[in-house]
Amino acid sequence: MKFDDLKILLALEGKWTVSVNGLEYLALSASDISIEDSTLRFGKYSRKIIDLEWLRSDVVRIRTRAKARTQMDTVTFYPGERLPSGAGIRKRRRRFQVEIGRALAAHFGTRKIERQTLYSDRRHGIGGAYPRFVVGIHAVIAVDPEESSAVINGIMRAALLWAPLVRRPVTAVVPRGRYQTLAARLRVMPQVSASIEWLQWDGKAIRPLEDSGAEPETHVQELVIPNVSAEVERICAMAPGAVQAVPHIHGKAISLRLRGLEVARVSHEGISYPLGEPIEQVVKEINELRRHGSRHPLAHTHEERWLESNLIGSIGQILPSIDVRHIYPQVPSFIGEERNIIDLLSVSTDGRLVV
């Protein structure tokens, strides 16, 4: 049994959640996982691979057996650090519901929360990320500071949808330090600002939302492109037209991608091969297997990266005004404590910023 595809998959992600018989979940780095012949090592465990099953393009279930044991173990690899079923998210949100409930009782000077819920109201379009409370005459909706920026900013929509259902004055509680986008929207939406009471929570107490009214200052860090053209050209020549060189902003390097999968990263400090070596063989295999219509797992893993790669390659046809010399993927941006990633950043030929 060959495990080349499995090795490549495991190298694609930096972090993995590993389920052992569905009872124990391990958070491991890719460096903690290895395959030698038919032996799978992950963390402190070592198992012989009996067979494997691809559940999705990036999720694999492996039937294994420990040395000197007849009992089989089922080991399932999920990309990333989150629990696969959403159990971890539900647990975190329930914990936040209890915590913010206590803070609300203290803020409104009551001993008891009359009613609270955390379910997803699909009929009215209110997501399950927003715990809702009835505290005296107040209807309160809140959001956990650990949610993504999109979820936190979505509380405005959820509050507006909930208001006609609850028939009470609505209060929205947002995390301190993560409301800059909401504050900017409220400045140009005075009716929404007036119809909902906006509060902030700092992890201990609830107080009115503070908005200075000032737009955040913009500081653009200069991007220094490393002078590594010789190495870049060498690798691109292995699959002309297929290997794409794009800036790796965070790593101050050039990322070489084949239909979205990074096969090499070149910087002044050297060159690394995330999917292994020899690089010629890796490029050849991915070029053959990662094609439209293929059923191979490599054709379906990280499809969003493939889409991004296609967009970078053809953006001049989609937006003729784009200056194709300046296209930057996955650009980090910060507003206060909010961290966002701009999928593609560019500039038009007349000098306008394009996001």
Domain residue extents for the chain: 4-79, 87-208, 229-354
Residue 338: band (very low, low, confident or very high) from pLDDT cuts 50, 70, 90? low
Q: How far is CA 153 from CA 147, 150, 159, 267, 290, in A?
A: 10, 5, 11, 36, 36
Range in 100-104, 301-305, 318-322, 338-342 the model is least confident about = 338-342
pTM (2 d.p.): 0.50
DSSP 20-79: ETTTEEEEEEGGGEEEETTEEEETTEEEEEEEEEEEETTEEEEEEE-TT--SEEEEEEEE
What's the confidence (pLDDT) of residue 14?
Answer: 83
Q: What is the mean pLDDT of residues 187-199?
A: 88
Residue 339: band (very low, low, confident or very high) from pLDDT cuts 50, 70, 90? low
Q: Read off the pLDDT of residues 131-176 as tens digits, 9 standing for 90 and up.
A: 999 998 899 999 998 888 888 888 999 999 999 998 889 999 999 8
**Taking all residues of the chain, what is their mean pLDDT, rounded to a whole number?**
83
Share of the chain above pLDDT 70, in %: 92
Amino acid letter for position 245: A
Say whether pLDDT at 215 is over 70: no
H/E stretch holding 8 reads helix 4-12
Q: Read off the pLDDT of residues 223-279 as tens digits, 9 standing for 90 and up.
A: 777 888 888 889 888 988 888 888 887 778 888 888 888 888 888 888 888 888 888
Range in 11-20, 293-302, 329-338 the model is least confident about = 329-338
Q: Read off the tokens for 129.
A: 């990320």
Residue 130: band (very low, low, confident or very high) from pLDDT cuts 50, 70, 90? very high
Say whether pLDDT at 334 is over 70: no
